Structure 1
């Protein structure tokens, strides 16, 4: 019995020692993980910022009357040449501010030259359009009125007649009280711009940047680390994770070989005619990117994992493994936020008929 008791005690001591060693190892691992998480968060904060409450500026404020008017104008198709196209045609709420087409379609089924990027968080970008030929969302809205492949109106006078006939005059006066003639295309652009500057979609990544490490899954944090280590944040930085520069698409090889593009788009060169601008495009923001296929300026890539592989290959000269792609995609999913309530639901528009045919 004594011998059995000694053996039993020795076994208990061994089990206790192993348990204590295991607990110490777990504690050390947890401490190491916490330190790694802290270091990753600090590094992320050097490159990214949480989304602002809205995207208004001193020059382009989000005044309530302006935003309310802009929301109606954004969804009203009667202001296009044939009465079929509104801003929401290419920027549908159900498709996270895109139309899910490789290239958008305007009035009379006229094709646009490029893919329509999401309107969500777009006012954070330093320019509008893939080629940056619009200064901001206000100019983009204004120029769309007479754009051949967008609203297609022949001139500004036609637009003014439509706005007045549809009963918008009182709302323009309320939104622009200092102007004795408030119904004008410039104010159309300002109103829609004011509305678009409210379309902010805070996501789990914003909670992470504000200090909640658990807002991202372990896999998403691994993807964030890979995103930083690979150098993706060199271009995709800031609150929008992009939208702040022009870059060549196809640094290590021609982009169309990787994307299978049907046509070769020469990017900003089309507008500037400067050889240095060949194949340069505005870097897209990555907010809600998991919800906005197809990808790139021509919508040539259908899935997010494929887009990640293409970017790594043509921009970084790297072939990624499946695990790394999965981690990066998990991180990109953390950039998806809920739709703003006044974008998810369409407004009630003025109940007036208006012929789409210009008088």
Structure 2
């Protein structure tokens, strides 16, 4: 690998690792999954698709605080990005799904989201001659719920955004970041942000309480059912207000932030993290540097910057 100026670069020994390229997938399954991802007929009243909330043009998330569902209600939590979701250890803010397939199965039949029934979805798809041919080309047994879920998951596994400037830095091109951006990464590590936002997805691989060093919800002034987080899955009191740590990849283009969409800007989000997760009071300069670093995490999809 050659760095700027022609010098051969070496990967850096860091706690974070570059994103891989998308895995090789069956093209027929991926194309079928892409069609399904954009098809409103997966919802009970043909009003929303996966792409309605996971907008690829806005970082794979939704630029609204809460997405509108097929029921006409707003989602109780902010929509996370579908980009790089396949690299998360769990799916959903509360981690109730282990795989993309489980996440897809749940969303389609959730009364608050698509509100449909998989049997009805398969009847709809099976009555479409184009889908009949597409499924037959991708799966020997044709149209089925399991195959639809697998096709969607296959497509989502292609939605990786490698080659951010930070990825290039990790691969050894140390000139790709400015001095301030490098200082921002240094502060990110020194303050301990990297303890939770770690690994290839810079998050997504562990759970943490929202409000480790202070009562975030008391300060906010109210608690909703969605705020209970992981507790709703396990019933364990230790999991109250616990959420999956979100990935920070592409964070500069996925505002607003947190499960409750309470932070409108990166600077707001950094303030909340310092106060309630770290119990630290950083200087304004350190916060500025960290925000600059976070902006280097914006990657590329299909070779184009997000």
Same fold flag (TM > 0.5)? yes
Q: CA deviation at 1:342?
A: 10
Structure 2 partner of 1:192: 152
Provide the secondary structure at the position in 2 that maps to 1:281: strand
Aligned with 1:114 (options 48, 66, 77): 77
Q: 1:261 to 1:321 in 2, by over 3 A?
A: farther
Aligned with 1:277 (options 226, 235, 239): 239
> Unaligned stretches of 5+ in structure 2?
1-8
Provide the secondary structure at the position in 2 that maps to 1:247: strand
Asked if 1:158 is matched to 2:126, the reply is no
Asked if 1:286 is matched to 2:248, the reply is yes
Distance 1:151 1:131 in 2: 19
Distance 1:168 1:338 in 2: 30
Structure 1 partner of 2:276: 314
Structure 1 partner of 2:54: 91
Q: CA deviation at 1:101?
A: 2.3
Q: CA deviation at 1:340?
A: 3.2
Cα deviation per residue 1:276-325 (whole Å; 9 max; x = unaligned)? 11111000000000100111011111111010111011111012221111
Which 4+ residue blocks in structure 1 deviate beyond 4 angstroms? 341-344
Q: 1:307 to 1:172 in 2, by over 3 A?
A: same
Distance 1:65 1:286 in 2: 31
Structure 2 partner of 1:234: 195
Conserved? CA contact 2:14–2:170, under 8 Å: no
Conserved? CA contact 2:298–2:305, under 8 Å: no
Distance 2:302 2:91 in 1: 21
Conserved? CA contact 2:71–2:114, under 8 Å: no
Distance 1:113 1:343 in 2: 30
Structure 2 partner of 1:143: 106
1:331-350 equivalent positions in 2, closer than 5 A: 331-340=293-302
Conserved? CA contact 1:205–1:335, under 8 Å: yes
Conserved? CA contact 1:96–1:339, under 8 Å: no
Provide the secondary structure at the position in 2 that maps to 1:108: coil
Distance 1:233 1:327 in 2: 15
1:4-19 equivalent positions in 2, closer than 5 A: none
Distance 1:342 1:106 in 2: 30
Q: 1:129 to 1:343 in 2, by over 3 A?
A: farther
TM-score (norm 1): 0.78
Asked if 1:51 is matched to 2:19, the reply is yes
Distance 1:279 1:331 in 2: 28
Aligned with 1:126 (options 84, 89, 95): 89
Asked if 1:204 is matched to 2:176, the reply is no
> Unaligned stretches of 5+ in structure 1?
1-37, 345-359
Q: 1:47 to 1:135 in 2, by over 3 A?
A: same
Provide the secondary structure at the position in 2 that maps to 1:208: helix
Q: CA deviation at 1:122?
A: 0.8
The structure with the larger Rg is 1
Provide the secondary structure at the position in 2 that maps to 1:107: coil
**Two-structure CA RMSD over aligned residues (Å):** 2.0
Q: CA deviation at 1:257?
A: 5.0
Q: 1:310 to 1:46 in 2, by over 3 A?
A: same
TM-score (norm 2): 0.90
